[in-house]
Amino acid sequence: HRPDPGSLHQIDEQYRRLLPDFDAVILSDYNKGVLHSVADWIAAARALGKPVLIDPKGTDFSKYKGATLLTPNRSELKEAVGAWANEAELIGKAQKLREELDLQALLLTRSEEGMSLYRAEQIDHHPTRAQEVYDVSGAGDTVIATVGLTAAAGLELTEAVRLANAAAGVVVGKLGTAVCTFDELAQSL
C-alpha cells in the first residue's frame, strides 16, 4: 500500500528543509511510492549545485532525468532497457540511457564482474575486489553510500568508484548486511 498524501507532503517539506545543509543527495528507490516527487527533488538539488545519486527501481527510469548518477544492478538495468546479448550491446544500451536521462554517469554494479562506469567520454571497468564472497546483501547500498560520500567530499568520479568498489569488496566478505569502516577501506586499498 502507498503512503498517504499527508505523509508524502511531510516528507517533501522535510527534504526541502534539509537540502541546503548537505553536500550530496542519495535517493534509494524501493518502488513503494515514497519518491513520488523524485523529479522535483532532483531539480531542487541540482539548482543548489548538489550531486544527486539514485539507486533506481522499476521499468521507467525517465523520472530520474537530470540526476548526476544512477547505480542500477544488472537486473534493474535489464528491467529498464531490456536484455542484451553481449558487452557491445550492453554498452550501447547503457550509454543511450545515460544520454536520454542527461546523467553525468551511469554506474552498473555487476556482482562477480565488478562494476562499470559509463560516461560520455569514457567507460571504466572495475573488477570485483572481494577475495571471498559470503553475502552480497547491502553491497549496492555500500556502493552508493561510498560514492555519495566521496562526491560530497569533492573527489573525482573515477576515484569515488574505485573507493566504492573496495568498500563493496569488504562488505561482501562479511555475513549479513555489514558496514565497511575507514580502517577496513584503507587496508583493502
Residue 141: active-site member: yes
**CB under 8 A, 24+ apart: contacts of 26-30:** 26/53, 26/54, 26/55, 26/144, 26/145, 26/148, 27/52, 27/53, 27/54, 27/55, 28/54, 28/55, 28/141, 28/144, 29/54, 29/55, 29/56, 29/57, 29/58, 30/57
**Strand spans (E) along 34-122:** 52-55, 69-70, 105-109, 115-119
Among residues 23, 124, 135, 141, the one annotated as catalytic is 141
- Please report how many Cα atoms fall inside a 13 Å half-sphere around the Cα of residue 118, on the Cβ side: 23
Find the helix packing angle between 87-100 and 74-81, rounded to 10°.
70
Q: For 73, which DSSP code?
A: B
Q: Which residues are catalytic?
A: 141
